[in-house]
Amino acid sequence: MTYQPGRHFLQIPGPTNTPLPVLAAIAKPTIDHRGPEFAKLGCEVLSGIRTIFKTGNPVIIYPASGTGAWEAALVNTLSPGDKVLMFETGWFSTLWSRMAKRLGIEAEFIAGDWRSGVDAGAIEARLRDDKEHTIKAVAVVHNETSTGVTSDIAAVRRAIDDAGHPALLLVDTISSLGSIDYRHDEWGADVTVGGSQKGLMLPPGLAFNAVSQKALKAGKGAGFPRSFWDWEEMIAINDKGFFPYTPSTNLLQGLKVAIDMLHEEGLENVFARHDRAAEATRRCVRHWGFEIQCANPAEYSSALTAVRLPEGHSADNLRADILGRSNMSLGNGLGPLADKVFRIGHLGDFHDLMVMGTLSGVEMGLRACGIPHQSGGLDAALRYLSGNAGPAGSA
């Protein structure tokens, strides 16, 4: 590809755009990870990240991807041969279940349609049938990045409690943390998995486990061998701001700034900004005449919108045309949705003008590729955004 002038629009559902203050912090000289300056930084980020998860309990930070945080959640709480109940919401719930099976966990996967969130009623019914309490954990994805569906985690917790079952609740928030309201303590999650490269506005490379006291107790009897992923060693040294091995020092410098930025804007304002961008995007998509992959409006994601193209039209060809024409990247369809959907990311560091620029690039691509649509989707989005004032015009 020849040089393309202008800013690249990275509108995939993560990694997201990294704001300049975060990049500047990451670019600072690397500091001694055993020295007093790092101890101060470590204490600040370990305390600050708890406020994003909304927990008073420990949050473990790994130099890893979200996949590593998945594994850490499983091996710190379970033993080989244990049974975990999972729910199919899309590609990432599927990958997590595959990981569990490879580790030697018996993963029972409740089938879904890739258009809906977790069915709490089905979870409760299965747990009521489990009279011997052989199921040790329920593992679900909060925001399914492949489909744009957000599940009700509080309802899943109620389902476990109403069934009178002792199973742990493990939750993936990789594409919702810092973008969609999530409450680790209030919603009764035992392990919450997160990653740095989406709502936290950092490059990939940091992964998180927020843990409850129940999860820590379960870890005492967990039978998986673990060293790198072990919570106990991490928590013991984290108390002083340090890590048991060389951490991602510069990414932690960026994380401190990212947390400060989220608090300066205010988490509720952050969530409202994502909600507005998502609704503007959906209005535009519906005006074009396309179907949104998420079938239930109550489960619409505020982090991304997955758009279904009409039969006979290639989502991948559209994405390629948009990349070449407008220097903009959109998310591809995953698994059975390959070449059938494209995904518009609206999460992380963005504002209304970036949303409108993104939708403009899509509509140009639709016209260029000859994909039938009703023009004027941009006006639908613009009317919504101009009538719903952003942070500068409303509380």
pLDDT tens column, 318-373: 999 999 999 999 999 999 999 999 999 999 999 999 999 999 999 999 999 999 99
Q: Which fold has domain 9-16+266-387?
A: Aspartate Aminotransferase, domain 1 (3.90.1150)
- Give the Cα separation of 262 and 277 in Å (integer): 17
Q: Which fold has domain 20-263?
A: Aspartate Aminotransferase; domain 2 (3.40.640)
Q: At what angle do helices 377-387 and 352-369 cross, to 10 degrees?
A: 170
- Does the pLDDT of residue 395 top 50, yes or no? no
- Give the Cα separation of 128 and 167 in Å (integer): 11
User: Mind listing the pLDDT tens digit for each residue in 39-50?
Assistant: 999 999 999 999
- Does the pLDDT of residue 394 top 50, yes or no? no
78, 220 in Cβ contact below 8 A?
no
Annotated binding site: 343
306, 281 in Cβ contact below 8 A?
no
* Residues contacting residue 145 through CB under 8 Å, at least 6 positions apart: 13, 14, 90, 91, 92, 174, 175, 303, 304, 331, 343
Average pLDDT estimate for 138-148: 98
What pLDDT does residue 3 have? 85
- Give the Cα separation of 140 and 39 in Å (integer): 34
Give the percent of the chain with pLDDT over 90: 96
User: Mind listing the pLDDT tens digit for each residue in 100-133?
Assistant: 999 999 999 999 999 999 999 999 999 999 999 9
- Does the pLDDT of residue 390 top 80, yes or no? no
User: pTM for the complete prediction?
Assistant: 0.96
Q: Mean pLDDT score of the chain, rounded to an integer?
A: 96
- Give the Cα separation of 194 and 323 in Å (integer): 29
- Give the Cα separation of 166 and 214 in Å (integer): 10
- Does the pLDDT of residue 389 top 90, yes or no? no
User: Mind listing the pLDDT tens digit for each residue in 35-83?
Assistant: 999 999 999 999 999 999 999 999 999 999 999 999 999 999 999 999 9
User: Mind listing the pLDDT tens digit for each residue in 205-220?
Assistant: 999 999 999 999 999 9
User: For the chain, where do the domains classified as CATH 3.40.640.10 start and end?
Assistant: 20-263
Query: Which alpha helices (DSSP H) does the chain contain, by range?
Result: 20-26, 36-53, 66-75, 91-102, 120-129, 153-162, 213-221, 231-238, 249-265, 267-288, 315-326, 352-369, 377-387
What length does the chain have? Answer: 395
User: For the chain, where do the domains classified as CATH 3.90.1150.10 start and end?
Assistant: 9-16+266-387
Of 2 and 298, the structure prediction assigns the larger pLDDT to 298
Q: Encoding tokens for residue 322?
A: 């948009």
Q: Which of 133, 177, 136 is nearest to 302 (CA)?
A: 177
What pLDDT does residue 4 have? 87
Annotated binding site for substrate: 343
